[in-house]
Structure 1
Amino acid sequence: MTSIDGLPPLREVIERHGLQARKSLGQNFLLDLNLTGKIARAAGELSGSTVIEVGPGPGGLTRALLMHGAGRVVAIERDERCLAALAEVAAHYPGRLEVVSGDALKADFAALADGAPSRIVANLPYNIGTELLVRWLTLPQWPPFYQSMTLMFQREVAQRIVAKPASDAYGRLGVLAGWRTEARIAFDVPPQAFTPPPKVTSSVVHLVPRETPLPADVKALGRVTEAAFGQRRKMLRQSLKSLGGDRLLEAAGIDGTRRAETLDVEEFVRLANAL
């Protein structure tokens, strides 16, 4: 029996290679090729692009990306158990899949893109997803090496990424994403779509870099948002005390009695520049 792409069904691949998902690696495998195809389509036009994928596991999303025309897929996989299954996918799509065995947190993604038009598409391992996103949002060079990011997160994290001021989900992640990208939730994925099913709903987020975001020092913006949202229930004059408090707020023209969640991205940029 074969799947719609001519390869064996993923359940068979997992059983044959002994690929039970490991919680320590944040693994939850997507087995429905119709669903992985929906993620691939949400990423936009893939032909002629290099697609970078993190945590391909047995290769469900990898197969969908190749089937939907990705010119080249670079898949970074830390779990060596998955390499044999990915090698079978590479053999089915000669010259189009490069598997990198290693830790995504140590990868040079721009070098992997190798100057080609690139997109990042991934069902990110839950335990490193937010850290990777922050790294991709705070690259020193902007516009970045990628044209878009289409990423799976727990729904709670996805809501924080797209959150607007004055909402409960608004925080550091929303400021960073709103500063440098246009971000939206493309669709939700129920727990039962995964093996094993997680306890929460997941969401696919699509982010497109802004060509000219407001100028700000990345590190200063990080410090300001971390301090402000670290004590989000306090007035800014108190939460930003370690960074200058009233003096900093006065320089940025912001009322110190306000709280972090009321500031928009432009106001956080003013604080970063004042710092």
Structure 2
Amino acid sequence: MTGKMQGLPPLRDVIARHGLSANKALGQNFLLDGQLLDRIARIPGDLDGQTVYEVGPGPGGLTRALLGAGASVVAVERDDRCLPALAELDIASGGRLRVISADAMKIDERTEAGEGAHIASNLPYNVGTALFVRWLSLDKWPPWWRSLTLMFQKEVAERIVAKPGTPAYGRLAVLAQWRSTPTIALNVHRSAFVPPPKVMSAVVHVIPGDQPEGASMVTVETLTAAAFGQRRKMLRQSLKSVKGAVDLLPTVGIDPERRAETLSVEEFVALARALDSNR
């Protein structure tokens, strides 16, 4: 059984009636294409009876699609102007929408959404990467969330799925790929948004996997921050700040004269494992 959401006015009418406009300071760009929003809501799979955590719903475009797919939605919105429009959606869904008026960077989303929730969001551009890194950097793994379906600037999306040896490959790719599988599920043209952003966008879908044994999140973060913080330097130079890392490079088969962007995710994990076992 999917959620019944018939009889809702077009989003453009809702935005006009409530006098809403995208707030540049909050990184807002409204997505109004109902068919596109329904496609995004289908990316995580069957949401009927599932809980979805959404950041920055704005006037509720994606929220509508998620509720229409049968989900219960916990949405965090810091723009009070959008709350009346979201309240109408709560009524239309029969109470399956709970809106938290807060800054998403300052709340405990695991407590609010609960174990096993999906995260789906047209992320505000100004906090998207920070939230993504937070969800990837949890000590407990597998994480509380079941999947991530997130809208990013296309350039950021390409960094998340980048492979070694490419210009986009860096710390974000390693953090996203060492214990989860990210894919670009959908490219979204700038004209789909109101107002149109200056750049193209893409929806990234992430499924968590198993954490490699013997390697900790803290060590992977430390290594990638050091290695890519000086990415033009050889590893024997860039990893000097990580105690013991340079000495361990040959033991895991990594030439100290290589640069960070040439290392595979598996090689970063191997080095992290060696560091952790030597402590």
Q: TM-score range by the shorter chain?
A: over 0.9
Structure 1 position 22 matched with structure 2 position 23: yes
Distance 2:213 2:8 in 1: 47
For structure 1, list consecutive stretches of 5 or more residues without a partner in the other structure. Answer: none
How far apart are residue 252 of structure 1 and its match?
4.1
* 1:218 to 1:93, Cα distance in 2 relative to 1, 3 A: same
Secondary structure, aligned partner of 1:204: strand
Of residues 79-88 and 203-212 in structure 1, the stretch that sits farther from structure 2 once superposed is: 203-212
Q: How does 1:126-275 map to 2 (within 5 A)?
A: 126-244=125-243, 246-275=246-275
The residue type equivalent to 2:229 in the other structure is G
Contact between 1:13 and 1:85, CA under 8 Å: does it hold in 2? yes
Secondary structure, aligned partner of 1:242: coil
Distance 2:30 2:128 in 1: 15
Distance 1:146 1:34 in 2: 26
* 1:196 to 1:133, Cα distance in 2 relative to 1, 3 A: same
4+ runs of 1 displaced by more than 4 Å?
none
Distance 2:259 2:73 in 1: 44
The residue type equivalent to 1:47 in the other structure is D
Distance 2:130 2:102 in 1: 17
Structure 1 position 74 matched with structure 2 position 74: yes
Distance 2:255 2:14 in 1: 59
What corresponds to 1:86 in structure 2?
Answer: 86
Of residues 214-223 and 38-47 in structure 1, the stretch that sits farther from structure 2 once superposed is: 214-223
Structure 1 position 97 matched with structure 2 position 89: no
CA deviation string 1:174-231 (max 9, x = no partner): 0011112111101100011000100111000110000344542212211110111111
* CA-based RMSD: 1.4
Secondary structure, aligned partner of 2:178: helix
Say how many residue pairs are matched: 270
Of residues 40-49 and 50-59 in structure 1, the stretch that sits farther from structure 2 once superposed is: 40-49
Distance 1:64 1:141 in 2: 30
Distance 1:166 1:212 in 2: 24
The residue type equivalent to 2:270 in the other structure is R
Distance 1:84 1:61 in 2: 16
How far apart are residue 105 of structure 1 and its match?
0.5
Secondary structure, aligned partner of 1:243: coil
* 1:154 to 1:222, Cα distance in 2 relative to 1, 3 A: same
For structure 2, list consecutive stretches of 5 or more residues without a partner in the other structure. Answer: none
What corresponds to 1:45 in structure 2?
Answer: 46
Distance 1:118 1:230 in 2: 34
TM-score (norm 2): 0.93
The residue type equivalent to 1:28 in the other structure is N
